[in-house]
Amino acid sequence: MGLMEKVKARKAPPVVAPIELPLDQIIQRDCIAAMRALPADSIDMIFADPPYNLQLGGDLSRPDGSHVDAVTDEWDKFDSLSAYDTFTRAWLAEARRILKPNGSIWVIGSYHNIFKVGSAIQDLGYWILNDIVWRKANPMPNFKGTRFTNAHETLIWASMGEKARYTFNYRSMKTLNDELQMRSDWEFPVCGGQERLKKDGVKVHPTQKPEALIYRILLACTKPGDVVLDPFFGTGTTGAVAKRLGRHWIGIEREDDYVAAARERIDAALPLDESALTTMQSPKAAPKVAFGVLVENGYLTPGVVLSDAKRKHRVLVRADGSVQTACGTHTGSIHKVGSLVQNAPACNGWTFWHIETETGLKPIDTLRQTYLLATQP
């Protein structure tokens, strides 16, 4: 071997076998230890619903004396605010290590913890893009009458840095909202009805989030095939929605009951096809329903074909609430595409487009009315 060959051989880096991500799997382990085992720069987006550290003082009761099923689990208890700070910074530091340079993170919380989370996020070098207010259409009242009703939670959306080229599907969000720019205040009901997982009549998880909320987040900030990590997986809402939308998911959860419920739930989830979710919204908001809301809540599934009353024009419903003509010439909202195919200045897509039913074509407005009837208290 010549001198140059010896030098090259000495400088050659060792061959390291790539670490395979446990795609579409649940890691049953402490979240910090589990994230430490994942390779750096490997995750496209993180959605985190960490313990809120509610510090409830005793049981909570309604005025009639009945018990309120609140968060009293051990996983939400910390010895002090300092201990919670240490935990928060530890998992957020690992999250930053495993996120891709152009990845992003979403963290949800209440007034108990979200300000501490936000401070840690900024201290660790993330760049906050938005804080989203989730307005609960049906919040739990303040039974003691000593405070305002706590009717919202806050989500922080952050990138890896000020210059990061994070994913934001602006067009999809605007289409989902009937061609209006999506705002930072979102209204969804708390999880209930058929969507709420129960065992022997008791909630499986006290803070299960509505699928429609996660649907919007994944649709906004990921692309098909992206890897989404949820380090506080619970009953698998993120995994079920990711499967529907064609995203890979990784869940981290240590509680046996939650893991069992999540696996059963995700196994039953069908990509881009799920039974309608029972939801509620406030009477004031009820009359206005964006077409995308019907898609988010399963009243219309992506891939279904709509047509006009004479079956002359056909469009395909897409995951973001937009529609596309069969030939791909026109794409947009139900109103925009309806006007384009007719060469008309405007179109009411609710009455122009129809869906095939067992009794023939029906205007999609009938689905909107069904949604309104189902969601009004």
Residue 169 has pLDDT above 80, yes or no: yes
Query: Which of these three, 246, 276, 306, is where a domain ends?
Result: 276
Residue 181 has pLDDT above 80, yes or no: yes
DSSP string, 309-364: TTS--EEEE-TTS-EEETTSS-EE-HHHHHHHHHT-S---HHHH-EEEETTEEEET
Query: Within a domain: residue 284?
Result: no
pLDDT score, position 67: 42
Number of C-beta neighbours around residue 196 at 10 A: 15
pLDDT score, position 8: 47
242 shares a domain with 169:
yes
pLDDT score, position 240: 94
pLDDT score, position 286: 40
Query: Within a domain: residue 208?
Result: yes
Number of domains observed in the structure of the chain:
2
Q: Mean per-residue pLDDT for 90-117?
A: 96
Minimum mean pLDDT range among 8-22, 116-130, 211-225: 8-22
Q: Mean per-residue pLDDT for 362-375?
A: 83
Residue 238 has pLDDT above 50, yes or no: yes
pTM for this entry: 0.69
327 shares a domain with 212:
no
33 shares a domain with 81:
yes
226 shares a domain with 360:
no
SS3 label, residue 181: coil
Q: What is the CATH number of the domain that holds 263?
A: 3.40.50.150
295 shares a domain with 263:
no
pLDDT score, position 372: 79
Interatomic CA distance for residues 331 and 166, integer angstroms: 24
Q: Percentage of the chain with pLDDT > 70?
A: 83
298 shares a domain with 224:
no
135 shares a domain with 186:
yes
User: Average per-residue pLDDT in the chain?
Assistant: 84
Structure tokens at 192: 């209930």
pLDDT score, position 127: 98
Higher-confidence position of 194 and 282: 194
Higher-confidence position of 167 and 1: 167
Structure tokens at 282: 């406030």
Beta strands per DSSP E along 75-165: 99-109, 127-136, 152-159
Residue 331 and residue 324 in contact, taking contact as beta carbons nearer than 8 Å: yes
Number of C-beta neighbours around residue 42 at 10 A: 18
Residue 363 and residue 353 in contact, taking contact as beta carbons nearer than 8 Å: yes
Query: Within a domain: residue 304?
Result: yes
Q: Mean per-residue pLDDT for 261-288?
A: 57
Q: Mean per-residue pLDDT for 52-64?
A: 56
Query: Which of these three, 276, 307, 329, is where a domain ends?
Result: 276
Residue 331 has pLDDT above 70, yes or no: yes
* Confidence band for 376, pLDDT divided at 50, 70 and 90: low
296 shares a domain with 207:
no
pLDDT digits (tens, 9 = 90+) for 197-235: 878 777 887 778 999 999 999 999 999 899 999 999 999
Higher-confidence position of 30 and 12: 30
Q: Mean per-residue pLDDT for 18-46?
A: 93
pLDDT score, position 106: 98
Residue 277 and residue 211 in contact, taking contact as beta carbons nearer than 8 Å: yes
Residue 233 and residue 212 in contact, taking contact as beta carbons nearer than 8 Å: no
Give the structural domain span for 149.
Answer: 25-276
